Amino acid sequence: MKATVDAPVEPRGNTYDVQELAGAFGDLGTLIPFVVGYITINHMDPAGILIAFGVFKLWAGFYFKTPVPIQPMKAIGTAAITQGGAITHGAIFASGLFTGVVWGLLGLSGAVTWIQQITRRPVVQGIVLSLGLGFVVEGVKMMRGDLLLAAVAGG
């Protein structure tokens, strides 16, 4: 029996429909907690964060003709927020810049496809689980010091 090779999936183009709108709010729903954490826990300048995110999202949207998710930055945000402000603003900035350069090089070289092929789903799920548990632990620490916050968050 002859093996068949699936044809590559072509991008579906830009369709600005209800699904795209829902996806935009989904990205916003994951962005807001990170921005709030950067501002409240790491004491970063809100204007700098919001302007930087806005400029990047506009540039990516115009260049790629589609919205670009912010998934790699979630790991940086989680590390910065769960360390209780111990990570400096410079370290956060440098890690974001370094991550952007690395993912840009991986994308241009095609190495992302190779990484995708060798990385199994349980590895990705384990990373996501550990990031989520880091938020849970940090949240419990914050609630121990403020019973009103704990009641509002739990209710």
pLDDT digits (tens, 9 = 90+) for 21-72: 777 676 666 777 778 888 888 888 888 888 887 787 777 777 766 666 556 6
Query: pTM score, two decimals?
Result: 0.56
The token duo for 139 is 């949240």
**Distant-in-sequence, close-in-space partners of 46: CB < 8 Å, separation ≥ 6:** 35, 39
> Would the pLDDT of 106 be above 80?
yes
Half-sphere exposure of 139 (CA within 13 A, CB side): 13
- Single-letter amino acid, residue 39: I
Q: Please tell me which residue, 91 or 81, carries the higher pLDDT value.
A: 91
Q: Give 117-154 pLDDT, tens digit per residue.
A: 888 888 878 877 887 788 788 778 777 877 787 787 77
Examine the pLDDT at 83 and tell me if it is beyond 70. yes
State residue 94's pLDDT score: 87
If we measure between CA atoms, which residue out of 118, 117, 75, 78 comes closest to residue 98? Answer: 75
CA dist list (Å): 63 to 57, 60, 101, 140: 10, 5, 17, 41
Residue 13 banded pLDDT, cuts 50, 70, 90: low
- Cα–Cα distance list, 70 to 5, 24, 32, 58, 110 (Å): 32, 11, 12, 13, 20
C-alpha 151/C-alpha 143 separation (Å) is: 8
In single-letter form, the type of residue at position 124 comes to V
Q: What is the pLDDT of residue 67?
A: 60
